Amino acid sequence: MPSKLSVWYNSLVDFNVESLFSKRRVPGPPRTVFVNEPLPDDHYDHKHRVKKEHVFSSNQVITSKYTVITFVPRNLLEQFRRIANVFFLAIAILQFFSIFSTVSPGLVILPLIIVLAITALKDGYEDVKRHQSDRTINYSQVRVLKGGDFSNDNPMASKSKTFVRAIVPVFKRTSKAKRTQGDVENAVAPEGLHTEGTDLTQLPTRTEELGVDFDDGEPVEEAGGLFHHRGASRKPHWKMTIWEDLRVGDIVKIMDDEPLPADILICATSEEENVAYVETKNLDGETNLKSRNACPSLTHLNTARACAKKENAFRINCDRPDTNLYKLNATAIAPDGSKTAVDSNMVLLRGTVLRNTGWVIGVVLYTGEDTKIVLNSGATPSKRSRVERQMNPQVFINLLLLAAMATACGIVDAVLEQHYFPLDAPWLYGDTQSDDNPRINGLITWVYALITFQNIVPISLYISIEGVRTCQALFIYFDKEIVYEKTGQATLARSWNLSDDLGQIEYIFSDKTGTLTQNAMVFRQCTIDGRVYKGDEVDSDVTNVGAITEADEAADESKLDVHETSLIPPSAKRSSASSSTEVANPLTAPAVKKAEHVLAHFTDSTLISDITSAREAVSGSPEDHHGRMLNGFWSVLALCHTALVSIDPTTGAIQYKAQSPDEAALVQAAADVGFVFRGRDREVLTLQTPFARGDKYERYELLNILDFTSARKRMSVLLRKLGGEDSEGDGKVYLLSKGADNVIIERLHPGQDAAVRTTEDHLAEFASEGLRTLTLAYKVVPEDEYEAWAKRYHEATVSLDDREEKIEAVSEEIEHGLSLLGATAIEDRLQDGVPEAIADLKEAGIKIWVLTGDKLETAIAIGHSTNLIGREDNIVIIRGGGEGATPVYMQMLNAVEEFFPESGILEEDGVGLDDDTVQPQQTRGYPLHRVNTGASSLVGHNNGERPGGFVLVIDGAALTHALSDAKNKHLLLKLAMQCEGVICCRVSPLQKALVVKLVKEGVGAMTLAIGDGANDVSMIQAADVGVGISGEEGLQAVNSSDYAVAQFRFLKRLLLVHGHWSYARNGNMIVNFFYKNIICIGVLWWFQIYCAWSSQYAFDYTYLLFWNTFWTIAPVIGIGLFDRIVDDHVLMAMPELYKHSMNHEYFGTKLFLIYMLDGVVQSALIFFLILYSYVSTSSRHDGYDVSRYEFSTTIAIAAVMAANLFNGLNTHVWTGWIFFAVALGIVLVWAYTAIYSIISPGWFPTYVFGNDFYLFRSPYFWFTIFLVTILSLLPRYVAKAYKLAFAPNDLDRARWLHKLDPTHDFTQDRHGGLADISVGGGRKRFSKRTRPHLFHASRTDMATGMRSVNRGFDFATEENGVAMQRIQSHLSERHVQAAPAKRRRNPSALMQAFSIRRTLRRKKHGSQSSHPTDEPSLSSAPSSPGREPLYHRASS
């Protein structure tokens, strides 16, 4: 139970200042948008004011923190969250009272003001940049419908006054409104204005042609409301309006290449089929174009005149604002009451950009904070580095020490005054005033002592750290080793205060696609009807495919690439991929160009031969059957997609643009084979195939698209084949499906077992090579069945309640009874250097977790290819299953007992099975049972004891259970901690963040998350350090990250070099900062013994005033900027050196206390040696006693020299900058002493005038300064010399070896090679230990209990219902190892299929098992790794 003090402290630390100044608007209820209709009466209250729930958010988006009014109070509150700033302010306020004043109060508070001002300027500069960005966006312009009968009565919330709008635009907009260009035209929007550089009044007048825009020769666009023709503003027209003035219910017109200002429902587009193409990289990181369709009932709103007509008014019922980018349920209601369903495919979201479309007319549904991109952005968390968090307790220690010192002074002073005042002590003469008497002077001395010893908490520490971290961010930016040469992209530190956290990372959470891989695809292999086709890469950018010609078959039936000249049927129309201004026709394109993010074309000579044979085959022959399978397979790839067809203007070839690189690679591969998708004309798909009859293109009517979702894991399309009367299959309805193998196979019709087994074997081979697979199937749907289903599907699509669930249920009805065609395999290539980087990061001691949406086997394959899983590693699989499957908690318990029995996890409280843990429905026999064949070696008796360690693989379904409650979380975390790496597959963005938080909060470890897409933002923000992959495209992950890198491999240098350096530098700088202040305060403290504990200064106050600003600041800053624990090439060559940084060796409370003690000891040496040297015999030639300022000035100079040289002694490399930094303070204090001593008191009061005359002539001065300096440094010097000579660590050895041989290759010393180095001598003469024989990687599936050698990936192990013979065949693959097997107890004994060791059950209170001596009685099996398995196989 935490104490009240800790609870109070944590609440104070976690206090969010932003909550006082900003309140996040809660998304409102479901809304109704009235377009050109008045609001109904129920929207008003009794005072005829619009009800609050019907007021929509303005389109103004503000990301800045401050305004003119809130900047000072809010920034001060943020800065005074640091307890040290509160302390310094209190001390400064005290000195405004004359009784406590030391020097001018203004001079005392000046350092605090400087620190606050510098920090405020930095925060203000950052916020000004945010204001500029906000202004650029909010002042971007869009065309809004005005004039005619159009009116918009939807109420909007008022806009906020920001920093810029409160000052600048007030007079700018009013003054410039007098100009002919209008108010909006003069609003500065450097990046948001899209008028092609031409004033709107200079644009050519458009007239209505082909039913577009206007029809009377008047201008159709208005600049600021001014027209050439009188009265034109009353006609329907498009007026340029700034984004922040956009309203819900406005009708807008978006032109090509313009960004979307809000979430907009599409009414009409420039395309004949009312399709719009949009780029969504700002939302999901994908650069491929997406297609969006207009609402069918609104396509007539294609001109300003049509939109403004009252008879075309309508309203839209919408859901409440939602964060789900892919979900939107709405209904468009016409005046006659007819309803049209609206979904996310009809909406253009804010943040996207219109591409390849002339124009779009749409209605604004959501604005500002209600748009999906703003709802998903969230507030970037305020991250504090671990070093900064650790500093707070150290500051508290110093404050407690200060309080104790002040209390001691106050108590002793009060006792002494009360003792000597009755004795008429002369120094107490007159102490009879109300504010000056022995009774109150103790308290005054206590306050005065706080002022005297205030430097024990260094005010300059915080500002010094800020400056050092800023420079470290610049060092990262200018490091040429982590600049991506292809794009010139440097590594950018977006958060300057986390550089030292990079040196303490213990866990890395990485996305896969686009982070570890290039997100660039190659179609590698496919299996069709049991045959595997392994294609070859084609280097050419374009592949000739020709077009259907009448002479094709007669000329040469053996060739797939037909003549480049084409004869297009007269009825061919322009495809949807081309815009209204595009001339090229996809039906006549003779070639196919590589799609973006697709690296190669696909070709296979065997496949070409099989297609040729099939074309010539006799009906009913095996070749004919295989030809039908080939035709079906490639037709599914060519038709089951949402890809767009475009024509490359340079080559005239077809280029596919798909929503993902995978889809583009599939469609392009089909085209390479000869199944060329020629585009879509409205709802008609055109396909060219080698099997075309009558030398014609095949055409299909697109009936429905059952889109791919993470839950469905498949995509289907329903098509009706079109053609002549003699066309085979004319009028039939086909269902074409592609998806994950498990969801497709379970929907096949019975009788395909042989084909399924063959395909599964091929899928396992594909997955073992790290390829991404899809399974293809189809069915013919009877017409009456389709008509009935289509009616139910339409009802589900127009439903506003639970639309997704209803659509899923209806889709499930028709996606069954499929016929298997085959499967595809695509390679997602790794980024350069990824395997090497992961191997080195693992060697550095960092645990790497990969969080991916890929299926289990592909994720494991990527783990192997990236070196995350070594060849000798053991893989433990935890999978979620359906009814009857092994519970996830039980799987985790089995894994712990099976592989980590000595970890102590099973003995922990809360770990184990309660009586109600295994529910009745879960105790049914699992369909898979391990069979005991009588030979334990077949199941791998030594599994779990191999040298490579363990890797845990868990899927999203299992994570859902494992993260459901504290008990599951605890066991999952304990199990994962025993593994070298973890792979989470099939995970959602939310699960990624939850996994990061599980480790971050459960272990307290430093975490780093790296990703490249919007789905990684939550993970990046949840981690201590977030890294975004910028690469060639600007992605949303970068905007939410702390560091932006271009390639994953740069993470190695960022952590091992910059992170290690920054943490070592900052930690060393901070402890030296505390040390140099304690040595100063220590001298003042020892002086209290001789001044009756009156809190007097030992030396002149100016020496104390300049202590942190001139005398001792340079060395610690030099440490923070220029110290190097070891050179960068050594850190890169020996990743294991990072463990010193990861283990927090450079900063902590223990190190802090050591340096504090060192400062106390040195202050005692300096004070007492100099004091007794001066008081023993006078140092003056005339015999008079010395003045206090003679020996105290000597103490001050000696303290400065000792502190600076001690700081220099703690650096690891002496460069010119370090020499300069150490010498600077010493030179300054000597020069100051010489100059200050000759200033006449006539200029201003000084107590040390003439001090130089006595000081520099005294032998005591020279003798004591050098004596105490050497004695002060001697203990640390001896300790460092002893450590280097007798107890060196790897860093010491590396520095020594580098000193002896600067050209030494440190890669030879990896894996503990530095242990052979003897500092001061040569290399030790003994051989390295030989590593044990490396086994093949072993895998154990805890859901099935199945073990096998992991040389290939069995796809079928993912799902339930695997046949028994599949298990037996895989078990037979196990190699018998020569190592002697440990004896098992009773290997032939049989157990129930679902039995649990009693050691796993929670111990009952009061039972015999609570006694240690009774523990063996719970299970007669020994606790050795060779114990009996939980699942036994029945003898066959």
Please give the structure tokens belonging to residue 598: 């697709």
φ, ψ of residue 257 to 5 degrees: the values are 70, 15
The answer to whether 1025 touches 995, Cβ cutoff 8 Å, is no
Q: Calculate the alpha carbon distances from 616 to 450, 552, 670 in Å.
A: 101, 14, 21
Which pLDDT score, from 0 to 100, does residue 68 have? Answer: 85
| Beta strands at 263-269 and 359-366: parallel, antiparallel or unpaired | antiparallel
Count the residues in the chain. 1436
Please give the structure tokens belonging to residue 746: 């379970």
Query: Rounded to an integer, what distance in angstroms lies between the CA atom of residue 593 and that of residue 609?
Result: 23
* Residue 469, Cβ density class (10 Å: 0-12 exposed, 13-18 middle, ≥19 buried): buried
Query: Rounded to an integer, what distance in angstroms lies between the CA atom of residue 147 and that of residue 308?
Result: 8
Cβ contacts of 540 within 8 Å, gap of 6 or more: 601
Closest by Cα among 851, 852, 696 to 772: 852
Task: Map tokens 């204001």 to a residue.
Answer: 131
Task: Map tokens 């020097």 to a residue.
Answer: 103
Average pLDDT per block of 10 residues along the chain, 1436 residues long: 59 59 67 92 86 89 82 85 81 81 74 84 81 86 92 89 45 37 33 32 34 40 41 78 94 94 94 83 66 90 92 92 82 89 91 89 93 72 82 89 94 89 78 75 89 86 89 94 90 88 95 81 92 82 67 36 31 35 69 87 91 87 91 94 85 84 90 91 87 80 83 87 63 91 90 92 83 90 93 85 83 92 89 91 93 78 82 84 76 90 84 58 35 27 62 89 90 92 85 91 93 80 90 62 91 96 96 95 94 89 88 95 94 94 93 96 96 79 74 94 96 93 96 90 78 84 94 95 91 91 88 74 43 47 57 33 32 35 36 34 39 36 35 33
68-77: Cβ within 8 A, 24+ apart: 68/163, 68/166, 68/167, 69/166, 70/21, 71/120, 71/124, 71/127, 71/163, 74/17, 74/20, 74/21, 75/119, 75/120, 75/123, 75/124, 76/116, 77/17, 77/20
DSSP 32-63: EEEESSPPPGGGB-TTS-B-GGGPBPPS----
Q: What is the DSSP letter of 289?
A: E
Q: What angle do CA 1043, 378, 165 make, to 5 degrees?
A: 95
DSSP 186-201: GS--TTT--STT--GG
Task: Map tokens 């003045």 to a residue.
Answer: 1187
DSSP 923-961: SSPPS------S-GGGG-TTTT-STT-EEEEEEHHHHHH
Give the catalytic positions in this structure.
511
Residue 861 CB: number of other CB atoms within 10 A? 22
Please give the structure tokens belonging to residue 155: 């109420």
1223-1230: Cβ within 8 A, 24+ apart: 1224/1114, 1225/1110, 1225/1111, 1225/1112, 1225/1113, 1225/1114, 1225/1115, 1225/1200, 1226/1200, 1226/1201, 1228/1110, 1228/1111, 1229/1103, 1229/1110, 1229/1111, 1229/1196, 1229/1197, 1229/1200, 1229/1201, 1230/1197
Per-residue pLDDT reduced to its tens digit, 322-367? 877 778 889 999 988 888 889 888 999 998 899 888 999 999 999 9
Cβ contacts of 427 within 8 Å, gap of 6 or more: 420, 1092
> For 463-586, where are the E strands, in sequence order?
492-493, 507-510, 517-528, 531-534, 536-538, 542-544
Which pLDDT score, from 0 to 100, does residue 378 have? Answer: 55
Query: Rounded to an integer, what distance in angstroms lies between the CA atom of residue 989 and that of residue 1037?
Result: 12
